[in-house]
C-alpha cells in the first residue's frame, strides 16, 4: 500500500494583488526542509518555489484529499537558511508585498528557469582554485583617524556610521574590517563572509579591483564576487551559488545584494549610504540600507554605513547623547574629517549669475580657471545633472514645444543622433525641420544638457593648448555615452590616464570615483533643486555638490607638486542660499542641524513616518477616485492604527501621465511607525475590495511605497 504524500507549503511568485495567498500547498513524496528549492506546477506553467515554514506542522495529506504534486527538487542547492527566510518575510511584511514576490525576486533569474538536471550539470563544473593561506595580506599604513575608527568598530557592536570627508580613506577602513573578520575565522563553522554594497553599478569594477588585489592572494580568485543587474544571468547565478555555498567570502554588489544568501555573514558595509539608489523604485520598494541594518541585527553581523554626507535619517540615528537626550541615537558615529596625505578640501567659489550677461553658460572667471588648468596639464570636471542637448525644442512663432504624445513631459533634444527622445517612456522621433504646428523653420533648443555643454566647451577652448602644445581634450560621461558594454570602463580609464582635460557629465561622475588629477569641479546649473516641492531636494543637492567637490584634489602629493589649490565652482542665481553657504565651509553638521530643525518643526521624517499609495489608471478621475474610495472605506471600517495616521487627499504625480497611463498618489503620515504598519496591513484587503468595484474598472494597478524618498 503506497505511503501517503506529505504536504509542503511553498512560496512562489504570483501576480500582484491577485488574492492568492502567500503560500500554496503541494504534495511531496518525502518531507522537505524549509528553504528547499523546488519546481512546482502553477496553472499551466512550472515555476520555481521555496519551501517555507508554515504555522501548522507539515504533515500527511488527509484521507481522500487531492493536491498537485511537486515537479522536482533542486537537491544540488542547500536549503536557504532561517535568517534568509526571516529577512525575506520581514521585507515582504514591511514593504507590503507578497512573500513569494520578494523571495523569488531575491534569487538569480537563471535559477528560476533551470530544471533539477540542468542545475546538477552546472554544479559539476570545476570549482575555482583557492588561495594560499600562507600569503600575508599587503596592507597600507592607516592614519590615526582610520586606526581609531577601525579599533572602535572591532570593539563595538554597532551599527556604525563612518562620517568621513571625501578622500579620508573610508574604503581602506572597509578593507581592514573585512580582513579582520575573515582572519578571525577559526574554521569551525560556516566560513565567515562579508557583504559590501555600493549604490551604482559603475562603482563596482574599481571596488572589485581593490578587493581582489587585496584578498585573492590569500583566499583565492573566487573569494570575491559581484552581484548586480549589469551582469549576465549565468554570471549572477555563479556568484550567487558561490556566496550560498561559502566559497565566496566577500560579495560586492548594488541594492539587490542585500538579499544574497550568505550563511556565514559577519559584516555588512553600505558605502555612500545616503544615496537614493539604495531605494528600489519598482515592485517591492525596499530600502537596501534599512534592510542591511535589520539583517545585521538579526544575523549577528556588524553593519558599517559610510558617507561624507550621511542621510539625515542616519545622522539623526547616530546623534550623541546630550543632557536633553541622554540615550542619543541607535548608531555609533565615527568621524574622519581629514583627507589622506593632509590634502585640503576644495575651496568653494560662488559666481552670481545675476551679474553675468544673459544666456551665459560659463562665466568668464570660471572659463579662465578651466583654461589655466588645461594649460598646466590638470583636469577639470563640469557637472550638469541633465543629459541630452536641450530639455525641449521650442517654436518661436507659435510657441510649440516638443511634448511627448504619451507623457505629460517634454521630449529631450539629442543633437548627436538628431532625435527627440522621451526619458520617461522612451518614445523617439527624428527632429523635425519645421514646426509641426505652424510650419515655421524657426525652432530652437531651450535649456541645456550635457551634450550642449560639451559642444560649447569645445568651441570656447578650441585655441587652448595643453603643456605639450596639443589642443584641449573634452569628454562626456552620461547614460547616453555609456550604453555599450565596457564603454564606461574605457571612458573612466581615459580620465585616469590623463587623456582627458575637461570631463563633462551627470551625477554618475560625481561620486565614488578616485580621480587623481582633477583640481577643479564646477556645477553650472544647480538652482533647480533649491525650490523643489520635495522636502528632500536640498539634502540631495547638498550631498551631490559635496560629493562632486570631493573629486577634486584627492592626490595631495600631486597637488603639492602642481603648487595649486583645488576648487569647487558654483554658478547660481541664488549664491547666498543656505545650501551654498554650508557648502562653502564644507560644514555638513551645520547643514544637517538646520535641516533637522526644520523637519522636526514640520513633523517630517525622521520625526514621522510616511507611506505613499499610487494608482495608475486610464484616466486621472479613475485613479483619484479609487484612492478617495479606498480612503473613505478605511475610515468607515475604523481600521487599526487609523487614529494615528493622517491620510492626505489624492493628487496627480508631478509627471502625471507616462506611456498613456495616468498616475495619482496619496500620502499617509504618522508619528508612529507601528501604527502606520498596522494600518497598511489592515488596508490591503480594503484596497483589493475597492478595486473590484465597477466604478474603478479603468484602474490598471496600485502600489504601496513605504518610507518613500520622493513625493
Q: Write out the three cell numbers for 226.
A: 559581484
Query: C-alpha cell of 230?
Result: 549589469
Rounded to whole angstroms, the Cα distance separating 145 from 243 reads: 32
Question: Within 10 Å of residue 535's Cβ, how many Cβ atoms?
Answer: 14
CB 530 within 8 A of CB 543: no
Give the Cα-Cα-Cα angle 694, 700, 706 (nearest 5 degrees): 110
Judge whether 566 is annotated as a binding position: no
- Pull the grid cell for residue 280: 528600489
- In angstroms, rounded to a whole number, what is the distance separating the alpha carbons of residues 241 and 234? 11
The grid coordinates of residue 244 equal 550560498
Radius of gyration in angstroms for the set of CA atoms belonging to the chain, rounded to a whole number: 28
DSSP three-state, residue 27: strand
3-state secondary structure of 68: coil
DSSP code at position 253: E
Residue 676: name the closest of 637, 645, 705 by CA: 645
If we measure between CA atoms, which residue out of 487, 477, 537, 485 comes closest to residue 512? 477
| C-alpha torsion sign, points 510, 512, 515, 518 | positive
3-state SS, one letter per residue, for 545-558: HHHHHCCCCCCHHH
Residue 150 phi/psi, 5-degree rounding, is -60, -45
HEC readout, 405-438: CCCCCECEEECCCCEEECCCCCCEEECCCCCCCC
Give the cell for residue 459: 568651441
Q: 245 among the known binding-site residues?
A: no
Return d(Cα 25, Cα 38) in angstroms, integer: 12
H helices present in 184-311, as ranges: 204-219, 233-245, 288-299
Q: Per the annotation, does 395 bind a ligand? A: yes
CB atoms < 10 A from the CB of 335, how many?
A: 15
| β-bridge pairing 37-42 and 72-73 | antiparallel
CA 699-705-709 angle, 5° bins = 130
DSSP letter (8 states) at residue 679: H
Strand order in the sheet with 428-430: 412-414, 419-421, 428-430
Q: Which residue bears the cell 592626490?
A: 555
Residue 465 DSSP one-character state: B
- Strands 474-477 and 502-505: what pairing? parallel
Annotated ligand binding at 404? The verdict is yes
The cell numbers describing 590, all together, are 551645520
336 CB-near residues (< 8 Å, 6+ apart): 145, 146, 149, 162, 163, 164, 165, 168, 169, 170, 173
Of 638, 622, 616, 575, the C-alpha closest to 705 is: 616
Q: How far is the C-alpha of 441 from the C-alpha of 28, rounded, in Å?
A: 72
- CA 617 – CA 696 distance, rounded (Å): 9
Q: Where are the alpha helices (DSSP H) in 550-672?
A: 556-562, 578-584, 588-602, 620-637
Nearest to 311 by CA among 598, 597, 510, 595: 595
CA–CA separation, 106 and 283 (whole Å): 12
By the 8 A CB rule, do 657 and 605 touch?
A: no
**Binding site feature residues:** 395, 398, 404, 407, 422, 425, 435, 438
**Binding site feature residues for Zn(2+):** 395, 398, 404, 407, 422, 425, 435, 438
Amino acid at each position: 500500500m503506497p505511503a501517503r504524500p506529505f504536504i509542503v507549503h511553498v512560496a512562489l511568485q504570483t501576480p500582484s494583488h491577485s488574492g492568492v495567498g502567500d503560500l500554496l500547498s503541494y504534495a511531496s513524496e518525502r518531507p522537505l526542509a524549509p528553504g528547499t528549492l523546488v519546481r512546482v506546477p502553477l496553472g499551466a506553467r512550472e515555476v520555481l518555489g521555496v519551501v517555507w515554514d508554515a504555522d501548522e506542522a507539515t504533515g500527511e495529506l488527509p484521507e481522500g484529499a487531492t493536491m498537485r504534486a511537486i515537479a522536482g527538487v533542486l537537491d544540488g542547492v542547500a536549503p536557504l537558511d532561517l535568517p534568509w527566510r526571516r529577512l525575506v518575510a520581514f521585507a515582504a511584511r514591511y514593504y507590503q508585498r507578497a512573500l513569494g514576490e520578494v523571495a523569488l525576486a531575491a534569487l538569480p533569474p537563471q535559477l528560476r528557469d533551470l530544471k533539477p538536471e540542468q542545475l546538477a550539470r552546472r554544479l559539476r563544473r570545476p570549482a575555482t582554485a583557492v588561495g594560499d593561506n600562507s600569503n600575508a595580506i599587503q596592507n597600507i599604513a592607516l592614519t590615526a583617524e582610520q586606526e581609531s575608527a577601525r579599533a572602535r568598530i572591532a570593539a563595538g557592536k554597532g551599527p556604525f556610521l563612518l562620517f568621513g570627508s571625501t578622500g579620508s580613506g573610508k574604503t581602506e577602513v572597509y578593507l581592514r574590517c573585512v580582513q579582520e573578520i575573515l582572519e578571525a575565522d577559526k574554521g569551525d563553522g560556516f566560513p565567515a563572509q562579508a557583504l559590501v554594497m555600493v549604490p551604482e553599478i559603475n562603482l563596482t569594477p574599481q571596488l572589485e579591483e581593490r578587493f581582489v588585489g587585496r584578498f585573492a592572494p590569500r583566499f583565492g580568485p573566487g573569494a570575491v564576487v559581484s552581484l548586480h543587474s549589469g551582469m549576465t544571468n549565468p554570471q549572477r547565478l555563479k556568484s550567487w551559488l558561490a556566496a550560498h555555498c561559502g566559497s565566496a567570502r566577500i560579495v560586492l554588489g548594488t541594492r539587490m545584494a542585500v538579499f544574497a544568501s550568505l550563511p556565514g555573514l559577519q559584516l555588512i558595509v553600505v558605502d555612500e549610504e545616503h544615496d537614493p539608489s539604495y531605494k528600489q523604485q519598482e515592485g517591492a520598494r525596499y530600502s537596501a540600507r534599512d534592510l542591511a541594518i535589520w539583517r545585521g541585527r538579526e544575523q549577528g553581523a556588524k553593519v558599517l554605513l559610510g558617507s561624507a554626507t550621511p542621510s539625515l535619517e542616519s545622522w539623526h540615528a547616530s546623534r550623541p547623547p546630550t543632557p536633553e537626550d541622554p540615550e542619543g541615537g541607535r548608531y555609533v558615529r565615527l568621524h574622519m574629517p581629514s583627507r589622506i596625505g593632509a590634502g585640503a578640501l576644495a575651496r568653494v567659489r560662488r559666481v552670481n549669475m545675476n551679474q553675468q550677461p544673459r544666456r551665459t553658460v560659463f562665466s568668464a572667471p570660471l572659463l579662465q580657471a578651466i583654461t589655466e588648468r588645461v594649460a598646466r596639464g590638470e583636469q577639470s570636471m563640469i557637472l550638469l545633472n541633465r543629459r541630452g542637448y536641450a530639455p525641449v525644442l521650442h517654436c518661436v512663432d507659435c510657441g510649440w514645444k516638443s511634448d511627448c504624445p504619451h507623457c505629460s513631459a517634454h521630449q529631450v533634444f539629442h543633437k548627436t543622433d538628431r532625435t527627440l527622445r522621451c526619458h520617461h517612456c522612451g518614445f523617439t522621433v527624428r527632429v523635425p525641420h519645421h514646426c509641426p504646428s505652424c510650419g515655421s523653420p524657426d525652432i530652437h533648443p531651450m535649456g541645456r544638457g550635457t551634450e550642449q555643454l560639451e559642444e560649447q566647451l569645445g568651441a570656447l577652448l578650441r585655441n587652448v593648448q595643453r603643456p605639450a602644445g596639443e589642443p584641449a581634450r573634452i569628454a562626456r560621461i552620461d547614460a547616453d555615452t555609456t550604453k555599450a558594454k565596457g564603454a564606461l570602463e574605457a571612458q573612466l580609464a581615459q580620465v585616469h590616464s590623463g587623456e582627458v582635460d575637461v570631463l563633462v557629465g551627470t551625477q554618475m561622475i560625481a561620486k565614488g570615483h578616485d580621480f587623481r588629477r582633477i583640481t577643479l569641479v564646477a556645477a553650472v546649473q544647480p538652482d533647480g533643486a533649491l525650490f523643489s516641492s520635495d522636502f528632500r531636494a536640498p539634502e540631495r543637492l547638498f550631498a551631490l555638490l559635496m560629493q562632486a567637490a570631493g573629486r577634486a584634489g584627492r592626490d595631495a602629493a600631486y597637488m603639492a607638486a602642481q603648487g595649486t589649490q583645488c576648487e569647487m565652482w558654483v554658478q547660481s542665481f541664488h549664491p547666498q542660499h543656505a545650501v551654498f553657504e554650508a557648502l562653502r565651509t564644507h560644514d555638513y553638521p551645520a547643514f544637517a542641524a538646520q535641516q533637522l530643525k526644520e523637519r522636526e518643526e514640520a513633523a517630517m521624517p525622521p520625526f514621522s513616518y510616511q507611506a505613499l499609495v499610487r494608482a495608475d489608471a486610464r484616466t486621472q478621475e479613475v485613479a483619484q477616485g479609487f484612492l478617495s474610495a479606498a480612503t473613505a472605506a478605511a475610515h468607515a471600517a475604523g481600521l487599526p492604527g487609523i487614529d494615528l495616521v493622517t491620510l492626505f487627499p489624492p493628487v496627480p504625480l508631478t509627471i502625471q501621465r507616462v506611456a498613456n497611463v495616468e498616475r495619482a498618489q496619496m500620502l499617509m503620515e504618522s508619528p508612529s511607525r507601528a501604527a502606520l504598519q498596522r494600518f497598511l496591513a489592515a488596508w490591503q484587503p480594503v484596497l483589493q475590495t475597492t478595486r473590484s468595484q465597477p466604478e474603478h474598472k479603468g484602474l490598471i494597478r496600485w502600489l504601496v511605497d513605504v518610507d518613500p524618498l520622493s513625493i
